[in-house]
Structure 1
Amino acid sequence: MANSTFLSTNLTNTSLDTTAAIVHMTCFIIIVLSHCTFLYFVIIILRVFFTSANIRETARYVLFIHMILNDTLYLIMAFVLYVASVYYVYIPVPFCYIMLTISTSTFRVTPYNLAVMSLERYVAVCYPLSHSQLCSPRRSTITLALIWTVALLFNLADIVVLGSKVGKNFFSLSVICSRASMTRTTEQGTITLCSLSMSFSAVGLIILYTYIQVVLVARKIGSGKSSAFKAGKTIMLHAFQLMLCMMSFTSSVTETYLRRYQAFIGIINYLLFMCLPRLLSPLIYGLRDDTFRKYMITFRSAAL
Structure 2
Amino acid sequence: MIQLTFASNNIGIYIHLTFISLIIVCLCFFLCFIVVVLSIFFTSPHLQEDARYIFFVYMLVNDTFFLLSGFTLMLGAVYFLYFPVPVCFILNTVSFLTFRVTPATLAAMALEKYIAICHPLRHKDLCTPQRANVAFILICTALIFPNAADLGFMALSFRTTFNTSILCRKENLFVNSFQYVLRSLSLALCFVLVAIIILFTYIKITMVAHRVSSQSSCTSKARKTILLHTFQLLLCTMSLLSTFIDALPASQAMFLPSFNFFVFSCAPRFLSPIIYGIRDECLRERIKKSLTRHLKN
Q: TM-score, normalised by structure 1?
A: 0.92
Alignment of 1:161-176 (within 5 A): 161-164=153-156, 166-176=157-167
Is residue 33 from structure 1 mapped to residue 16 from structure 2 by the alignment?
Answer: no
Is residue 212 from structure 1 mapped to residue 207 from structure 2 by the alignment?
Answer: no
Is residue 100 from structure 1 mapped to residue 96 from structure 2 by the alignment?
Answer: no
Contact between 1:93 and 1:171, CA under 8 Å: does it hold in 2?
yes
Corresponding residue number in structure 2 for 1:5:
none
Q: Of the candidates 173, 185, 192, which is equivalent to residue 182 of structure 1?
A: 173
Q: Indicate the larger mover: 90-99 or 201-210.
A: 90-99
Partner of 1:184, secondary structure, is coil
* Letter matched to residue 139 of structure 1: R
Rg (Cα) greater in structure: 1
Partner of 2:180, secondary structure, is helix
Corresponding residue number in structure 1 for 2:241:
250
Task: Give how far 1:245 is off.
Answer: 0.6
Contact between 2:205 and 2:219, CA under 8 Å: does it hold in 1?
yes
Paired residues in the alignment total: 295
Partner of 1:175, secondary structure, is strand
| Identity between Structure 1 and Structure 2 (%) | 37
Task: Give how far 1:256 is off.
Answer: 4.3
* Residues 175-211 of structure 1: CA deviation (Å, up to 9, x unaligned): 1212121122211111111110110011011101111
Corresponding residue number in structure 2 for 1:300:
291
Q: Tell me the distance in 2 between the aligned counterparts of 1:54 and 1:244.
A: 32
* Residues 63-118 of structure 1: CA deviation (Å, up to 9, x unaligned): 00000110011111111222233332211101211121111111110011000000
Q: Tell me the distance in 2 between the aligned counterparts of 1:128 and 1:224.
A: 16
Contact between 2:198 and 2:230, CA under 8 Å: does it hold in 1?
yes
Q: Tell me the distance in 2 between the aligned counterparts of 1:300 and 1:255.
A: 39
Any gaps of 5 or more consecutive residues in structure 1?
Answer: 1-7
Q: Of the candidates 64, 69, 72, which is equivalent to residue 61 of structure 2?
A: 69
Partner of 1:171, secondary structure, is coil
Is residue 86 from structure 1 mapped to residue 78 from structure 2 by the alignment?
Answer: yes
Contact between 1:255 and 1:262, CA under 8 Å: does it hold in 2?
no
Is residue 237 from structure 1 mapped to residue 221 from structure 2 by the alignment?
Answer: no
Q: Tell me the distance in 1 between the aligned counterparts of 2:181 and 2:68.
A: 27
The structure with the largest helix share of the pair is 1
Q: Tell me the distance in 2 between the aligned counterparts of 1:223 and 1:133.
A: 27
Any gaps of 5 or more consecutive residues in structure 2?
Answer: none
Q: TM-score, normalised by structure 2?
A: 0.94
* Letter matched to residue 155 of structure 2: G
Is residue 269 from structure 1 mapped to residue 269 from structure 2 by the alignment?
Answer: no
Task: Give how far 1:295 is off.
Answer: 1.0
Corresponding residue number in structure 2 for 1:47:
39
* Residues 152-190 of structure 1: CA deviation (Å, up to 9, x unaligned): 1121122223334x2412323211212121122211111
Question: What's the Cα RMSD here?
Answer: 1.6
Q: Of the candidates 144, 149, 152, which is equivalent to residue 136 of structure 2?
A: 144
Q: Of the candidates 201, 204, 224, which is equivalent to residue 192 of structure 2?
A: 201
Contact between 1:68 and 1:281, CA under 8 Å: does it hold in 2?
yes
Contact between 1:42 and 1:68, CA under 8 Å: does it hold in 2?
yes
* Residues 202-228 of structure 1: CA deviation (Å, up to 9, x unaligned): 101110111111111112224454311
Partner of 1:91, secondary structure, is strand
